[in-house]
Amino acid sequence: MVTTAEQPTAAWIPGPILGIETSCDETAASVLAEDGAVLSNIITSQHAVHQRFGGVVPELASRAHIESIEDVSAEALQQAGLSWTDLTGIAVTQGPGLAGALLVGVNFAKALAYALNIPVVGVSHLEGHIASAWLQDPAFPLPCVVLVVSGGHTHLYYKAPSGLCRLLGATRDDAAGEAFDKGAQMLGLEYPGGPSLDRLAQQGNRDSIAFPRSYLKKGSLDFSFSGLKTALLYTLQAIPEQFRAQRAADFAASYQEAIVTVLVDKAFAAARSAGAPALAVVGGVSANSRLRMLLQQRAASENMRLSLPSLAYCTDNAAMIAAAGRQTLRFGHRATLDLDAQASMMSPFAHAI
């Protein structure tokens, strides 16, 4: 992706790339080989730092990134069996995300690129998630539809044979990950909420409560999860507090089902209406066990090629950033040293077709 701080340069000499990701509460570094193979994928989670606050505290996130970025990057190099001087490029998440957290990664990447005299490029976190669909399946075809489901996004894209993206639909309120996290909070589950709710739901009856499924108007590929969240709140309020714990698994399973069935229905509807034979589902929520099962079943019955990255590539990681940056570097672009964090960056729109 070409930002104002990037300039076309002489052809890049391909070789190992370091990816760096610090947009939220994971400090991650990864090394990709010249052919795009993942040589290392190191992720340090800050969950312990934020747990007692029930959510990410931006200032604490920035500090934790500062403390671990160098070690995490060195470990990525070591696990790849390489040294700093073997690197031929650096890709770093430029946005969207927490401004202070992003700045840690961007400044570290620029300093490293300057010291090693190699190019650095800024990458959109969203483009990183999209690129994760090809990490383990480089032959995954285009055109395809990509559903990005994370803590900040629920976006459906058509990815054309050229690689450019067109937005087909997006959430009108909460992202799917937010719906999971807020639902988990209402149920009193441990932070981070999405994985906790997923685990609890496995013991519950998903048909026990008929939570609303918001499809919006006929044919719409947009999403809305705020009504569902309110429905859970009212359901919980209607039950005496002493009985809530014993029903929690049923609530979790029914609530989760209402989220994932809409995601699956809309993703397949989008692929069908776009005439795409392939669907990729990426981002943290794609780690959800029920969503993965439904996607796999539907893909088999509809003969749809599905890319569903392994769990390590669903939630935030730096391999996906290196993969997206690798494409940018191959186009011959590199950032200048005024590369800055962009907390509200939405680069797939810049590629709109």
Q: Please tell me whether the peptide bond between 8 and the residue prior to it is cis, using omega within 30 degrees of 0.
A: no
Please state the closest distance from residue 161 (CB atom) to ligand KG4, in A.
26
Q: Report the alpha-carbon distance of residue 138 to residue 261 in Å, rounded.
A: 28
Give 240's Cβ-side CA count (13 Å radius): 2
Please state the closest distance from residue 26 (CB atom) to ligand KG4, in A.
7
- Is residue 177 a contact residue for ligand KG4 (CB under 6 A)? yes
- For the chain, how many residues are written? 353
DSSP category for residue 306: E
- Is residue 96 a contact residue for ligand KG4 (CB under 6 A)? no
**Stretch binding ligand KG4 (CB under 6 A), from 35-43, 221-229, 284-292, 338-346:** 284-292
Binding residues for Zn ion, rule: CB under 5 A, are 150, 316
| Helix locations, 173-318, DSSP H | 176-186, 193-201, 226-237, 241-274, 289-302, 311-314
Phi, psi of 291 (to 5 degrees): -60, -45
Please state the closest distance from residue 308 (CB atom) to Zn ion, in A.
16
What residues between 285 and 304 interact with ligand KG4 by CB under 6 A?
285, 287-288
- Is residue 181 a contact residue for ligand KG4 (CB under 6 A)? yes
Burial 11-34 (b: 16+ CB within 10 A, else e): ebeeebbbbbbbbbbbbbbbbbee
Smaller CB separation from Zn ion, 250 or 316: 316
What residues between 22 and 51 interact with ligand KG4 by CB under 6 A?
24
Total residues contacting ligand KG4 (rule CB under 6 A)? Answer: 19
SS3 call for 45: strand
Question: Which option in Zn ion, ligand KG4, none does residue 288 bind, with CB closer than 5 to 8 A by kind?
Answer: ligand KG4
Smaller CB separation from ligand KG4, 195 or 204: 195
Residues at the site binding ligand KG4, with contacts judged by CB under 6 A: 24, 150-152, 177, 180-181, 192-195, 198, 283-285, 287-288, 315-316
